[in-house]
Amino acid sequence: MIKKLSLIRRHVPHAPTKGAAVELSWIEFLSTYLPNRYSVDSAFVVDNTGKCSDQIDLVIYDQQYSPFVFFHSGVKYIPAESVYAIFEVKQSLNKQHIEYAADKAESVRALKRTSVPIVHAGGTYPPRPVFDIVAGIITTSSDWTPPFGKPFYEVTGALKPWQRLNIGCTLDSGSFLLQPDGTFESSSNEESLIFFFIKLFTQLQNLGTVPAMDIDLYSQALDSI
């Protein structure tokens, strides 16, 4: 990944094109190594009231119980119920990019999510409570040395609850994970990618399965229903 992103950084001069290429590289990586139940795309997230999030660079979602993914002019719109995790992808870790990723996280977490009973062969499971959506930031490098020192703690400590970043990867400098007690666990720069992937996968496993969306509420947008 470091070599691949370094090539993009050196040989793609146009900033928007470079950003799209980096996003695609991360989407391909996670799509390859995460289990098939997890889909990964760049998308907007929507809810049944018609509200829409900011555009999210990387959304990890599940279509088993929330099957609707809308396409319009080449852009995907994913229902909030199906989202496990969201990430902002930037070139470097710094105050501006952390706050930007935090605002993106808040735009998704503020959406309304529904949950209905799930019918199975032995009966019906009750509606499962909605979980906290994982949010994070992925960068190639850090503007800080060390990457997770005092400036990092000051910026992340000032974030509001819906803005908090649970996990992040700075590919050439290390990765971090927010612990339940508010402290951070971080990796060495040599193990940044494997640390990030293992900790992300553990977070996804701990979430279980997304809630089943109330399709009737989404269908109310149709004139014939």
Secondary structure (DSSP) of 60-125: EE--SS----EEETTEEEEEGGGEEEEEEEEEEESHHHHHHHHHHHHHHHTS------EEETTEEE
Count CA atoms within 13 Å of residue 169 on its CB side: 21
pLDDT in tens, 72-84: 777 899 999 999 9
131 or 63, greater pLDDT: 131
Question: In terms of DSSP bridges, do strands 134-142 and 83-93 run parallel, antiparallel, or are they unpaired?
Answer: parallel
Residue 138 class from Cβ within 10 Å (0-12 exposed, 13-18 middle, 19+ buried)? buried
Q: Which amino acid, one-letter code, is at 152? A: F
Structural domains for the chain: 2-116+127-215 (3.40.91)
Is pLDDT of 145 > 50?
yes
Q: So which residues are the catalytic ones?
A: 57, 88, 90
* Contacts of residue 146, Cβ cutoff 8 Å, sequence gap at least 6: 173
Please report which confidence band the pLDDT of residue 147 belongs to, taking 50, 70 and 90 as the band edges. very high
Joined together, the tokens standing for residue 170 give 């700075």
pLDDT in tens, 91-106: 999 999 999 999 999 9
Of 144, 161, 24, nearest in space to 96 by CA? 144
Q: What are phi and psi of 87, to 5 degrees?
A: -140, 145
CA angle 117, 36, 111 (to 5 degrees): 50
Please report which confidence band the pLDDT of residue 4 belongs to, taking 50, 70 and 90 as the band edges. low
Question: In terms of DSSP bridges, do strands 134-142 and 167-170 run parallel, antiparallel, or are they unpaired?
Answer: parallel
Number of CB atoms found within 10 A of residue 100's CB = 15
pLDDT in tens, 153-200: 999 999 999 999 999 999 999 999 999 999 999 999 999 999 999 999
**Radius of gyration, alpha carbons of the chain:** 18
Count CA atoms within 13 Å of residue 130 on its CB side: 20
The residue behind tokens 């289990």 is 35
Is pLDDT of 132 > 90?
yes
Confidence (pLDDT) at 163: 98
